[in-house]
Amino acid sequence: MAHIIVDAAEEILDKEFPVLDHGFVRLVDYNGGDSRIVQSARISYGEGTKSYRQDKGLINYLMRNDHTSPFEMVNFTFHLKMPIFVARQLVRHRTAKMNEISGRYSVMSDEVYRPDRQHINKQSDSNKQGRAEVVDDELASQVMDGFTKDKELIFEQYNSMLDSGIARELARIDLPLSLYTEMYWSMDLRNLFHFLKLRLDPHAQYEIREFANTILDIVEKVCPIATEAFREHNLNATNFSLTETDAIKAMINGEECPLKGRAKEIFEEKLN
């Protein structure tokens, strides 16, 4: 099969999709689409592309049964602009290839992320890495003022060191995690779906979820059938353990749920 052109993808190539206050996601390049997944899955049978209905059925079968290698035949390259603390969450997904702007070679701009007032929250008591309720207006104002004052002082020192001839690789070391960085980020569709499932989870940090939502919208332009299957069988689906499956069988038979304590709470969260 020749190089695959997806019209909807061509329309958005190099278009910036804004995220947060200064960030964006831009599709730089893609390789393949739904038809590439189908072709890859059928290669052992020597069959070409069939009807849309059959292709959709095959892709859903692959997704439902974790036959993942055909999804690895599709690749995406994005240009991302995001705060450093968000970018570091991308680094954890080691299946990606990335190349990031360097403060050793470039003078960094003073663009930093500032959360909106409605996203300034207290620390959650139940989720050690997450947010809880929004703080009151007075405390929110104090936090916002602190962010602004810190930024002004840090960049005053940074620019002063540059003006004094201090090496960029030294002047940069106190720049904040809120500083915006840019990178090229490339990943195959199988691993991209894994990234999206983790980073679209309600427990993921708000800022990375915003980028993940935009990336998912772009992926859907390139691979609409695969994305629909991902939503159906993965993103919006729930896996049950053997013990939880036995509990479901018991409840279907009219018996009381056998799970107790925290195991029961987790089970009920899944059901809801």
pLDDT for residue 138: 83
Is pLDDT at 228 greater than 80 in this prediction? yes
- Average pLDDT on 188-215 reads 95
Q: Is the pLDDT of residue 7 over 60?
A: yes
pLDDT digits (tens, 9 = 90+) for 175-184: 999 999 999 9
CATH number (domain holding residue 35): 3.30.1360.170
pLDDT-derived band of residue 127, with 50, 70 and 90 as boundaries?
Answer: low
Same domain, 88 and 123: no
SS3 annotation, the chain = CCCCCCHHHHHHCCCEEEECCCEEEEEEEEECCHHHHHHHHHHHHCCCCCCHHHHHHHHHHHHHCCCCHHHHHCEEEEEEEEEHHHHHHHHCCCCCEEEECCCCCCCCCCCECCCCHHHCEEECCCCCCCEEEECCHHHHHHHHHHHHHHHHHHHHHHHHHHHCCCCHHHHHHHCCCCEEEEEEEEEEHHHHHHHHHHHCCCCCCHHHHHHHHHHHHHHHHHCHHHHHHHHHHHHCCCCCCHHHHHHHHHHHCCCCCCCCHHHHHHHHHHHC
Residue 114 annotated among the catalytic residues of the structure: no
List the structure tokens of 165: 């001839």
pLDDT for residue 1: 56
Q: Same domain, yes or no, for 16 and 109? A: yes
When divided into structural domains, the chain yields a total of 3
Catalytic pick among 190, 199, 209, 262: 199
121 and 5 within one domain: no
**pLDDT band at 46, cuts 50/70/90?**
low
- Residue 162's pLDDT band, with cuts at 50, 70 and 90, is very high
Place of tokens 């290698």: 69
**10/103 same-domain check:** yes
Which residues span the domain enclosing 133?
Answer: 116-177
Confidence tier at 111 by pLDDT (50, 70, 90): very high
For residue 171, the number of C-alpha atoms closer than 13 Å in the C-beta half-sphere is: 22
d(CA 60, CA 71): 12
What is the percentage of the chain residues whose pLDDT exceeds 70?
Answer: 95
pLDDT tens, 55-72?
899 999 999 999 999 999
| Entry pTM | 0.89
Read off the pLDDT of each residue in 113-120 and give the average, rounded to a whole number. 86
Give every CB contact of residue 170 below 8 A, 6+ residues apart in sequence.
161
**Residues 130, 184 share a domain:** no
pLDDT for 97: 93
Mean pLDDT computed over every residue of the chain? 89
Last residue of a domain, one of 177, 197, 221: 177
The reply to whether 63 and 145 lie within a common domain is no
Q: Residues with Cβ < 8 Å from 209, sequence gap 6 or more?
A: 199, 200
